[in-house]
A = this chain, B = another copy of it.
Amino acid sequence: MDKHAQAADKAWHSSPRMTDVAKLAGVATSTVSRALANPGRVNEETRRRIAAAAEQLGYIPNTAARNLRVGRSTIVLAALPGPSMIFGASQIIPAVLQGLASTVAEGGFDLIFSNRNSPAAARHVVDLAFGGTVRGVVVLGAADLPAYGSRSLADAGIPVVSLLTDRSAAGIPSVVTNDRAAMREGVLHLIALDHRSFFYIAGESGNYHEVERFSGLLDALAVVGLSDRAVIRHGGHLGFNEGFQNGVEAAHAYLALALARRPTAAVCCADDAAISFIGTVRSNGVAVPEDVSIIGFDGAAVGAFCVPPLTTLEQPAEDLGAQAARIMLDLLGGAAMPAPKTTVPSRLLLRASTATPSGRSER
């Protein structure tokens, strides 16, 4: 490649500006601007000339200049809790993000990610909002809104949507699954199978999902007049990211119970715990579901291939993300405040890990 070709090559690479398009089409830049934004408000003939010129030059508008001029960007921020793009086998977060990303993209927006586990990270989230980098924020999980000093995300003057956690009480539109009602339904299923004693494997104490799901369990017991004493509760010290370990520890606790005192059903706050619980008790001679039935929560794909296949409450993960995105898009489009709380229901997935209790008393 000779020098001349190189120069031409370089010119090819450097992005042409609107001025270049205007010059080539023989019009003013403002006309080019309109032709691209309001194709209706410009003569068809000149519009074609401009389109042709833009096409020929490979013109692509400069984002920064446009954003500066119009005073807003086209980026939505997903503020994640901890470094938790990884989240057990359940993959709730990745699936939710996928739904969020797809729908946001359909709306013509881009999605940027940020963790907020460290103070610095939380501060960064706030800066992105106040600095005009992002146009709206979807907050996933966790308890407190990103903030630092006296500045909170809530004061940034941009739309905020809460995903997975219900913050409607704080005036933030929220998209959640029906953790409580779903768990209630799942346990009622166990009760219908004749289970009357339960082993509950808790998530992190105080965690939103943990609280909701345990409440759902109690709700179900109340329905049939069973007292809270029908359930032995284990765990609470491990987070959802440590679900597997949680299940193993719970299994040891279960195995430590005298045979007669062992509940006939184990209810898990998450599939990860259910899976490792099953693996551990089975290798210690406990039959599933004969000796103990197990029900998980999340609907992890791998559950269908466990031995035995796991009965679980499937979260509509992608839908959750898509719904949140839709609400955000409406808000960005100037819609009025949406429903404070959108619930996308989980559904009970019956598989072989639950059955009528049978084994133990006959052995």
Contacts and interface: CB of A to CB of B under 8 A. Distances in A.
Contacts of A85: 94-95, 97-98, 101
A114 B97 CA distance: 12
Interface stretch (A23-31, A128-136, A170-178, A185-193): A128-136
A37 interface: no
Interface stretch (A44-52, A209-217, A297-305): A297-305
Contacts of A83: 98, 102
Given A97-B85, A102-B115, A150-B58, A282 B302 contact: no
B304 A282 contact: no
A305 B89 CA distance: 11
Contact of A305 (B15, B60, B110, B244): B244
A228 interface: no
A276 B247 contact: no
A130 to B, nearest CB: 4
B115 A12 contact: no
A133 B63 contact: yes
B111 A113 contact: yes
A73 B126 CA distance: 18
Contacts of A124: 105
13 contacts: A60-B130, A64-B65, A64-B73, A65-B68, A75-B112, A85-B98, A86-B94, A87-B94, A110-B133, A112-B113, A279-B305, A279-B309, A307-B307
